[in-house]
Amino acid sequence: MATSTAISTNANLPALAATLAEALCGSFGGLIIRKKGRVKGGTLYGDDLVHVVFITGFIYTNLLRRSLEKARTVKASDLLAACEARGLTGKNGAPLTVNDCLVAIDATIDSLNRSLAGTNTSTTDHVYEPLVVDSETVRGCRVYTGAGDPSNPKAPIPGTIYLNVLKIGQKVLEPAANGPIPAANSRGDVVAKSILRSMLPIGRYVSYALEPGAEFILRAGGTAAVAADCDGVSVRSAAVEDIFTLAAAV
């Protein structure tokens, strides 16, 4: 690999791009980052400082297949119970129903099938491309290639690297000053669908923007494991084992 001053990349942080190419392909990693949060009514919510631990280098289609397998086994009654245990309701406080959960399960299965078939595309796909370092594509990373919007501080910055990972643990180091993002006033099936996704392996798939000047610390391998242990981030669970076995690259 070339030195950071001679790296050829489509990202705006060459040294970071080189680190991702060398250290984070198919490994355990950790990231301390300030979440962007969301502005509602002129107030910013959900901008916690978090320590996330994750794995990279996984095969995305494996993740989709395993999620589809699990989605097909979920019973509407069990999904409803999971929603009720969280105290969730539908639009304008309406109680969730078994039918809401049936619709959510069907919609999730359909979406996963379309993703596997390559027909479930995002309207923003055209403004991203894979991260490239010295002519080699880095799995699990992409770069924003859109025009950006200098007038909007929350808009993506051209050349920003987005790190796509499977989150296997998280600890909030500093809660958001204004609290979490307020719950949306959504239909019952939409609420149920979000809970169902959190129950599937795909629910651990997260993307983080590594922007110039942003507040983040990225670590890999043993260094990441030591830092996670020091911060008390728990990473052992049956779900973690499932992800390593069924989603990781070999």
- Among 240, 238, 87, 232, smallest CA distance to 172 is for 232
Residue written as token pair 């798939």: 205
With cut-offs at 50, 70 and 90, classify the pLDDT of residue 244: low
pLDDT, residue 236, reads 58
120-169 residue pLDDT tens:
777 778 899 999 999 988 888 999 999 888 888 778 899 999 999 999 99
Coil, helix or strand at residue 41: coil
2-49 residue pLDDT tens:
444 578 999 998 988 988 887 766 678 899 999 989 999 999 999 999
- The model carries a pTM of 0.84
- Retrieve residue 244's tokens: 């390593």
Domain spans of the chain? Answer: 4-247
Query: Which amino acid type is present at position 149?
Result: D
Coil, helix or strand at residue 131: strand
- Retrieve residue 15's tokens: 């040294």
pLDDT of 107 above 80: yes
Residue 27 DSSP class: S
47-89 residue pLDDT tens:
999 999 998 878 889 999 999 999 999 999 999 999 999 999 9
